[in-house]
Amino acid sequence: MLCILIALIARFVSIVIPLTLLKSFYTLYTHVMINKDLFAFLKVLASNPRTMGAILPSSKQLAKEMVTHVTRNLNNVIVELGAGTGVITERLIQSGIHPSQIIVIECAPELAKQLQERFPTVKIITGDAMNLANLLAYEKRTINTIISSLPLRSLPKTTTQSILKQIKKMLPKEGRYIQYTYSFMRNPFYALRNYELIASKRIWMNLPPARVDVWASLLAKQ
């Protein structure tokens, strides 16, 4: 009797567990396939993980914290570097910023295409942040905030330095530079010369947890 019971349990486990795993994988697969943004993100991540710097798109909590520090002016524009699937772009618009005031720089053509489809009234530019000045050469309005999701710590040092020089070149003395990082170490790796850290907050509701840093020019105080 005991042997029969054990056999039945073993048979049940051998059938139910694989079916449960299969169902989980199917749910994940269908979610990814239905969510074009996530699928495009994972595709780019697989082809060039270093330029993505993240295993998943930013959380809504992270986007909310970053947008909180954006300087608002109806005559100025906000430049977003590395928009990915558009989580922060969406939050910018939800916060009351008009789409015409947002310029997105995205280096991955697949993501840039989907961003343009999702936000048809936002200016989406496919290009590298190292060429920021050239990409924005046509823009006559003042850029008051640059909000970045670029993985500066995972990029080559020369690339990071080049991007930071471009950011500094494009920001006026009253401008702000907002950047998030997965490192919680107090390391001025991406600090700009003559800029000071005016705000910093850890966001635990993100995978992985991140820290948002806000930089402002010391020249604004003069």
Q: How far apart are CA 130 and CA 142, in angstroms?
A: 19
pTM: 0.76
- Same structural domain for residues 40 and 69? no
Q: How far apart are CA 215 and CA 222, in angstroms?
A: 16
Q: Phi then psi for 93, rounded to 5 degrees?
A: -70, -40
pLDDT digits (tens, 9 = 90+) for 163-217: 999 999 999 989 999 999 988 776 655 567 788 899 999 999 998 899 999 999 8
Q: Based on the structure, what is the number of domains in the chain? A: 2
- Same structural domain for residues 173 and 208? yes
pLDDT digits (tens, 9 = 90+) for 1-25: 545 544 444 454 454 445 554 454 4
One-letter amino acid of 192: L
- Same structural domain for residues 156 and 76? yes
- Same structural domain for residues 15 and 107? no
- Same structural domain for residues 106 and 173? yes
* CATH number for 112: 3.40.50.150
**What SS3 state is found at 105?**
strand
**What SS3 state is found at 102?**
strand
Domain that holds residue 8: 2-51
Q: In residues, how long is the chain?
A: 222
Q: What per-residue confidence (pLDDT) applies to 185? A: 73
